[in-house]
Amino acid sequence: MGLSLSQRRRLIPWMFAIPGLLWLIVFFAIPLANQASVSLMTGDPEAGYSLTWAFDTYTSAISDYKEQFLRSFLYAGAATVIDLVIAFPLAYFMAYKAGRWRNLMLLLVVLPFFMSYVLRTVSWQLILADNGWVVERLRDVGLVADDGRVLATGTAVIAGIAYNFLPFMVLPLYVALERIDRRFVEAATDLYASRLTAFRKVTLPLAIPGIFAGSLLVFIPACGDFVNAALLGTPRQYMIGNVVQSKFLNVLDYPTAAALSFILMTIILVGIVLYSRLLGTRNLTEAAT
């Protein structure tokens, strides 16, 4: 090759990077760009579509499906909070108290991942069945009315989402907690901070990157999820993912489906930025990668 040594040296990293980057450009970036143009098209499946810059698809998509949007964020937000509450003590125990059980516990946290996702969700149909043990007990204590049910309600969908994404919350929390230098906490207690104050002023602030990463890892997939709503809910519990899926695969209304997925992405991105401001995480990618 007629290249100088320094030119060739500069090409080396690209040699490694280009096959993978090219794949992601062709099958991730270009489809997203294409999706953007589809969302501005009008037409129907038979006659074909043409780009008419139909921005009103966006406004009508929002007004027609604001209920499903709100429900998506409500369910995903509720599941994220539930997971944070369940996961924090577990991650704390694994990081500081588990001793030689730590690795076993880590394995147990990720093991359910390897049982089929759809199958695990189906098994929640069995757990929350109307005449099942769980619902009977909830009736006994009066949390569910005698003729009430859990399956086919928002509660079931939230429970399913919280269950399915729990490991995504546990792992980053564990990593963040495990990384904290315990001498900071000792220093705080030596300086007469109570246990609670030391936790609130030292451990919790240092765990924030984990809380941030865990919340995103739960919230983002939960927002777009439609498996839980489809299997544990009814059309009255449908989330935006269900709408996108049926628009694409059943109704064949591609522009609306494309607009809906773009709105979802935009809201999530804006949410991430606001959330990172709220938690004071300066560098977004630093926290997430």
Partner 1 sequence: MRASDRARNWALGIWSAAALLFLFIPVFLIVLFSFNDNKGRFNFTWQGFTLDHWKEPFRDPDLAKAMENSLLIAAVTTVAAVLLGTLLAVALTRYRFRGQGAAGFFVFLPMATPEVVLGASLLAMFLVAGIDTGFWTIVIAHVMFTVSYVVVTVRARLEGMDPYIEEAAQDLGAGVWTTFFKVTLPMIAPGVVAAAVLAAAISIDDYVVTSFNAGQTQTFPLYIFGATRQGVPPEVNVLGTMLLVGVLLLMGLNLAVQKALARRDRAVVEEPPSQPPTPAVPAAGPSAVAG
Rounded to the nearest whole angstrom, what is the least distance from the CB of residue 2 to partner 1 in the complex? 18
Query: Residue 48: helix, strand or coil by DSSP?
Result: strand
Minimal distance in Å, beta carbon 56 to partner 1?
A: 19
- Tokens found for residue 166: 């729990």
Q: How far is the CB of 98 from partner 1 (least distance, A)?
A: 8
Shortest reach from residue 41's CB to partner 1, in Å: 10
CB of 31 to partner 1, least distance (A): 4
| Cα distance between residue 128 and residue 120, in whole Å | 13
Separation between Cα atoms, residue 20 and residue 154, nearest integer Å: 41
DSSP for 131-193, written as a single string = TSHHHHHHHHTTSS-TT--STTSHHHHHHHHHHHHHHHHHHHHHHHHHHS-HHHHHHHHHTT-
Length of the chain: 289
Cβ distance to partner 1 smaller for residue 156 or 171: 171
Whether the CB-CB separation of 168 and 288 falls below 8 Å is answered with no
Nearer to partner 1, 15 or 141 (CB): 15
Nearer Cβ to partner 1 (127/139):
127
Cβ closest to partner 1, residue 81 vs residue 106: 106
With respect to partner 1, which residue has the nearer C-beta, 130 or 201?
Answer: 130
Q: Is 202 exposed, middle or buried (0-12, 13-18, 19+ CB in 10 A)?
A: buried
